[in-house]
Amino acid sequence: MDLADPSSVRNLIRHTKPHWIINAGAYTAVDKAESEPDLAYRINTEAPEAIGIEAKALGASVIHFSTDYVFGGQGSTPYVETDPTGPLGVYGASKLAGEHALLSGGATAFIFRTSWVYGATGKNFLRTILKLAREREELRVVSDQHGAPTWSRDLARLAAHVIGHPELHDSQLTGVYHASGAGETTWAGFAEEAVHQASQREPGVRFATITGIPTSEYPTPAARPPNSRLNCSKLGTTFGWKMMEWQESCRQVMAKF
């Protein structure tokens, strides 16, 4: 389906009549969204709205992914689901509107807000850092944004866990849940850990030194929240699910390279 076209979303769902709809699709170009708000809102807000309406009509349940960027990033404690939101840019605002739009349809829906997603394949921070660390002497990485890297597979397993346990398919559990890797770090901390683990695996290879820099030295069109920490307790108490420690998931991902 084309998520930018709500009628395409509706038609496909009506045609296939799924029991579950998992929406991992999104407009994720955080900086480009500032100059393409219409497209970002179509994909991140109108598509989840259409999914919610169709799911309700079918009696289907929904798993949808959202983001730490719904928050403004003040403070230094992990956000809980009920904390006030305050997105700093179009991407976060369109994703937040998508959460509301999906829930307004009335279907059973689980929205997992996650952060700093990466994995063994695709374009992501870990793979970029490890590539550059082989090519350069020094990498300057932002060290004043705090959060937790999340393995995409951990999120996939969470979705499978929910779907695999019928007792969790309860409309009363509809809502937003925080689901990011356990623990916390900064982007520079993530890069240091990745290079540290890579050096242990390949002692003969010289990797770049990681130097922490403030966000002000790495300006971007869209502001990023300095505090992206998410408190995932509700996920544990509701679904019996604990997200992996981010260093451990980093180890497991790197073992796949």
Q: Residues 69, 91, 118, 177: which is the catalytic one?
A: 91
Report d(CA 168, CA 163) in Å as an integer.
8
- Residues 87-104 as b or e (16 or more Cβ within 10 Å = b): bbbbbbbbbbbbbebbbe
Q: Which is nearer to ligand NAP, 121 or 209 (CB)?
A: 121
Q: What sign does the CA torsion over 178, 183, 186, 189 have?
A: negative
Report d(CA 145, CA 155) in Å as an integer.
22
Residue 37 lies near ligand NAP (rule: CB under 6 A) = no
The residue from 13, 30, 43, 109 that contacts ligand NAP (CB under 6 A) is: 43
Binding footprint of ligand NAP, residue count (CB under 6 A): 17
Pairing of strands 175-178, 138-142: unpaired
Q: Which is nearer to ligand NAP, 65 or 151 (CB)?
A: 65
DSSP secondary structure string for all residues of 52-68: HHHHHHHT-EEEEEEEG
Report d(CA 5, CA 191) in Å as an integer.
38
Mark 92-121 with x for binding to ligand NAP (rule: CB under 6 A) and - for no binding. ---x------------------xxxx----
Mark 50-89 with x for binding to ligand NAP (rule: CB under 6 A) and - for no binding. ---------------x-xx---------------------
Task: Name the residues that contact ligand NAP, by CB under 6 A.
Answer: 2-4, 24-28, 43, 65, 67-68, 95, 114-117
Catalytic residue positions, numbered: 91
